[in-house]
Chain A
């Protein structure tokens, strides 16, 4: 399956079928630091993804300066 990663934007290929959690483990990505999106839906960790699925793994940790008045 195609996995879109962000910051910077790039795509990697992961073999499937596999659950979201397995895909994240294979990419060595911590579950709590991302959300996974397919199309416009949020997919939870136990969802089985097909070999031809396309997903986006979106980081949720914003690193901008926190003395900033407007967080991201």
Chain B
């Protein structure tokens, strides 16, 4: 196996590109794909400050590294979700990466600052863990970005993630989600701009990127992720991809280029009527935002234990 660019021994094959790459040319490809996505969708301008949503997994750490490599002023934000050992370990990877790059990592611990963790909050609010978790993340990333004066929040959603979500949204014709499934969401009153610079890269490439850059990351799955339907969508798409390399790329980018626009009529009106939360000031359609209601319900709830050593020691 030889590198397409230099004919030296290759370290990875990418069937979608019908090519193999050596370390140097693969890393260059990753940087180029991020730069291309950023430019194509006007995600970031030179000199803008970005807040990277860091989980300690491969995608978010690779994203942070790539943005720093491309010269962006990128800080990280890590949320302590309190999901047992999984969270403790994830935090150490985020901190180790920040220290190795001399980058700034902001940390917010749910239990310390808001009195709950994801397993406990989910049970108290009778929500699925991922729903309580997603709500907390959205709220706290938005808040940190606005408070810190960042121009955008960047998340590590890659091509496989976006294709799987699109597949689910099309399968069930969730048109309101289809309208908002974009690599960039512009800032609007109270919400920061959201960008997904990894949309041109697959998840295998992100794992390979981390190994080649010496980035240690959380390999284990979140224990709350079990039975997730997106995993089945990914498996289905991977079977299609195996027979027809490039199918995921065509599916997602074809949607953006040719179909996405048609779903967007609905969102303008839905966005019209936002109030500001009575308690925290965040934009919300009701008087008290969903995050503040979650915090309220979780207050004083019996902690739910998870992980080998348990969430609370």
Q: Do A and B come from one complex?
A: yes
Q: Is residue A32 contacting chain B, with contact meaning CB distance below 8 A?
A: yes
- Of B15, B134, B157, B203, the residue contacting A60 (CB under 8 A) is B203
Residue in contact with B208 in the complex, picked from A33, A42, A68, A70, CB distance below 8 Å: A42
Chain B interface helix/strand/loop/mixed: helix
Distance in Å: Cβ of A48 to nearest Cβ of chain B: 12
Q: Is the CB of B1 within 8 A of A70?
A: no
| Cα–Cα distance between A63 and B160 once the two chains are bound (Å) | 11
> Contacting A72 at CB < 8 Å: which of B10, B11, B59, B79?
B59
Assess the B130–A68 pair: CB atoms within 8 A: yes
Point out the residue from A32, A42, A59, A63 that lies within 8 Å of B15, measured CB to CB: A32
Number of interchain pairs (Cβ within 8 Å): 129
Of A7, A35, A40, the residue contacting B220 (CB under 8 A) is: A7
Which A residues from 31 to 72 make CB contacts under 8 A with B? Answer: 32-35, 37, 40-46, 58-72
Q: How many chain B residues have a CB neighbour from A under 8 Å?
A: 55
Across the interface, do A42 and B11 meet the contact criterion of CB distance under 8 Å? Answer: yes
Q: Distance (Å) between the CB of B309 and the closest chain A CB? A: 16
Pick from B57, B58, B130, B204 the residue with the most CB of A within 10 Å: B204
By a CB distance below 8 angstroms, the chain B residues around A58 are 207, 219
Known contacts A45-B1, A46-B1, A60-B206; is-contact A72 B222 (Cβ 8 Å): yes
Tell whether B151 is near chain A: CB-to-CB under 8 Å: no
A17 to B53, CA, bound (A): 42
Residue A30 CB within 8 A of the other chain: yes
Q: Which of B57, B79, B133, B211 contacts A40 (CB 8 A)?
A: B211
Contact present for B228 and A64 (CB under 8 Å): yes
Most buried by B among A61, A67, A72: A72
Residue contact A63 to B221, C-beta cutoff 8 Å: yes
Q: B161 at interface (Cβ–Cβ under 8 A)?
A: yes
B241 and A64: CB pair below 8 A? no
Using A42-B211, A45-B13 as known contacts, say yes or no to A63 and B225 having CB atoms under 8 A apart.
yes
The residues of B that contact A61 with a CB separation of less than 8 Å are 160, 203, 231, 234-235, 238
Contact of A71 with B219 in the complex, beta carbons under 8 Å = no
Whether A72 contacts B1 in the complex (CB less than 8 A), given A30-B238, A63-B231, A65-B230, comes out as no
Q: Which residues of chain A have a CB within 8 Å of any CB of chain B?
A: 6-7, 9, 30, 32-35, 37, 40-46, 58-72
Pull 23 A–B residue pairs with CB atoms less than 8 Å apart, ordered by A: A6-B220, A7-B221, A32-B238, A33-B204, A35-B211, A41-B11, A42-B211, A42-B212, A44-B1, A44-B11, A45-B13, A62-B225, A63-B225, A63-B234, A64-B222, A65-B131, A66-B157, A66-B164, A66-B168, A66-B228, A67-B134, A70-B53, A72-B156
